[in-house]
Structure formats: C-alpha cells, structure tokens
Amino acid sequence: MNKRFRKAAARFPKEQGERQGRAASLAWEAFSQPGAALAFLNGFDSELGARPIDLATASAEGLVLVERAIAARAA
C-alpha cells in the first residue's frame, strides 16, 4: 500500500513570526472584542494601504505602523 505524504508547509522566518505575534497580541489587548481584533488585523485598512497583519509581518517598519494604528484606534 502506498502512503501519500504531504509536503511540509512553508514556515515564516523567525523574525516574521515574532512580528506577527506582536501585532496580534497588541490587537487582542487593545480591542475589547476578539472579533474586532481579527477584523482589524485581517481586513484591508485604507489608512495603512494593506492588511495590517501582512504589513506587520513583512517588515519592522510595517510593524511600527500597525502598532501606531492600533494605539490610535484604542485611544
């Protein structure tokens, strides 16, 4: 009997995973409803010009922009 193996899923480099986790943690802490945090992170944000989770994951500069956006919306 032949077994079919799945290819290993591509993983984020460590730095990307850390930035993604930081953005998600901040959003969960800042927004009172979990759904609001998910909507913010996964929805396109016209002020940022991208999905916040993608922006934060892509670069350290993107994470700073997302951190500022979270702080502004939580205030």
Domain containing 64 equals: 14-74
The CA angle 45-50-56, to the nearest 5 degrees, is 105
pLDDT at 1: 54
Tell me whether residue 1 is in a domain.
no
In this model, does residue 68 exceed pLDDT 90?
Answer: yes
Torsion of CA 31, 37, 39, 43, to 10 degrees: 110
Between CA 64 and CA 35 the distance in angstroms is: 22
What is the tally of structural domains in the chain?
A: 1
Report pLDDT digits (tens) over 15-59: 999 999 999 999 999 998 879 999 999 999 999 999 999 999 999
Tell me whether residue 9 is in a domain.
no
Between CA 35 and CA 16 the distance in angstroms is: 23
pTM of this prediction? 0.83
Report pLDDT digits (tens) over 2-18: 667 777 777 778 999 99
Tell me whether residue 69 is in a domain.
yes
In this model, does residue 74 exceed pLDDT 90?
Answer: no
